[in-house]
Amino acid sequence: MMDSWAEEQQGVLVTPLGTLVARWRGKALTALSLPRADRVSTAITATVPDWLAESLAAYFADPRHRFALSLAPTGTPFQQRVWQMLPSLAPGQVYTYGAVARMLGSGARAIGQACRANPCLIVVPCHRVVAVDGLGGFGGVTAGPQLAVKQWLLRHEAAC
């Protein structure tokens, strides 16, 4: 369980995927995301803790790595339910929004919206969820550099 009194900290990691911004409170990850050019943060004041850096390094070395991190992302109860289920999806496999919706007794569009709102890139593997006729989106974007991140992650995991 996370320390509710702990102040959220933020740091950056350089990974094979590029630079990622991590936020955590105590020993719980609250967010892992791509840096946004329109939001250059001055709050990056901490060194990313070893428990996070080592776990991500293990994933980049072996895409079959299963994360065993405490997570504390902020979201609606439905989003939380989707995010808790996504890590059970096998690396190297893709699932359609509709298939995930059937697993959770929901609709494909609602799954897409929960994936779009996912604050924990990679650790909560929304990149494994695709449209029936293509990749779908990534973080609400359907083209360009952000979608290239989804493609990179899927190629990385195809080695499984």
pLDDT tens digits for range 71-113: 999 999 999 999 999 999 999 999 999 999 999 999 999 999 9
CATH architecture of 75-157: Orthogonal Bundle (1.10)
Beta bridge partners of 11: 22
Domain boundaries, the chain: 8-70, 75-157
Q: pLDDT-based confidence at 56, cuts 50/70/90?
A: very high
Extended beta strands in 34-75, E state = 70-71
**Residue 115 designated active-site:** no
Instruction: Choose, from 115, 120, 126, 160, the residue flagged as catalytic.
Output: 126
Question: What does the alpha-carbon distance between residue 123 and residue 101 come to, in Å, rounded to a whole number?
Answer: 20
Looking at residue 159, its pLDDT comes to 61
Under the banding of pLDDT at 50, 70 and 90, the label for residue 2 is very low
pLDDT digits (tens, 9 = 90+) for 117-155: 999 999 999 999 999 999 998 988 888 888 999 999 999
Q: Give the dihedral sign, CA 45/50/56/60.
A: positive
At 3 the pLDDT is: 47
Cβ neighbours of 23 (radius 10 Å): 23
